Amino acid sequence: MSKRNPTYQSQSFLGVVSFDPATKQVRVALNSPQLYQHFLKTVCKLGDVVSLYITSKRPKRSIAINRYYHLYLSLIALSSGHTIKELKFWVKGRFLTIGITEVFGVKTRITKSTADLHTGEFLELLDNIEFETGVPLPNTEPFNKALTPKEFEALKVNQKKIYQRLTTKIKGI
């Protein structure tokens, strides 16, 4: 029994979406147009039917950024008296609303999930929360040092005291 040769060959090409002011069109500028041309010349024949898939790749937020977000919400909770759960609802309603719809005759807010945000959008969200609440983003530098468990706990206690003394800039949060 002989092996069958595949009837197709695929190659991935990376690029960046950009605007061409000359043609006033959005285009994909390939990172390696030479590789693209080489593929067309060596693999494809005139008249071949090809498929083109474009996938928008945005870096998702990391687990570390997610932990930082929850740490920040816990610090806001200390200075506002609200729970982390309440603050999450506030963040979604205040910063992640994408529309309002009517369900069973009741107006309902449509919100994005923080899980759908890429890294840049998530960092912008943190900046917006800081601006709106007046509660500064925590400095992670002291936690990145090699600390004994006792030093680490003392640092956490000190950070909590700092944030408990803060009050939010806006009423109701």
Same domain for 79 and 149: yes
Same domain for 53 and 67: no
DSSP string, 30-42: ES-HHHHHHHHHH
Same domain for 68 and 48: no
Same domain for 69 and 39: no
Same domain for 106 and 159: yes
Q: Let me know how long the chain is.
A: 173
Same domain for 133 and 100: yes
Same domain for 161 and 133: yes
Same domain for 146 and 75: yes
Same domain for 88 and 15: no
Decide if 144 is inside a domain: yes
Decide if 122 is inside a domain: yes
Q: Which domain holds residue 110?
A: 63-165
Residue type, 171: K
Decide if 4 is inside a domain: no
Decide if 99 is inside a domain: yes
Same domain for 146 and 73: yes
Same domain for 76 and 52: no
Q: Going residue by residue through the chain, which has 173 residues, state the pLDDT in tens, using 9 for 90 and above.
A: 556 665 678 888 888 888 888 999 998 888 888 988 988 898 888 888 888 888 877 667 778 788 889 889 988 998 888 999 999 999 999 999 999 999 999 999 899 888 888 888 888 999 999 999 999 998 878 767 777 888 888 888 888 888 888 777 775 55
Same domain for 77 and 113: yes
- Give the Cα separation of 171 and 169 in Å (integer): 7
- Give the Cα separation of 22 and 33 in Å (integer): 20
Domain count, the chain: 2
Decide if 170 is inside a domain: no
81 φψ region: left (φ > 0), alpha (ψ -120 to 50), beta (else): left
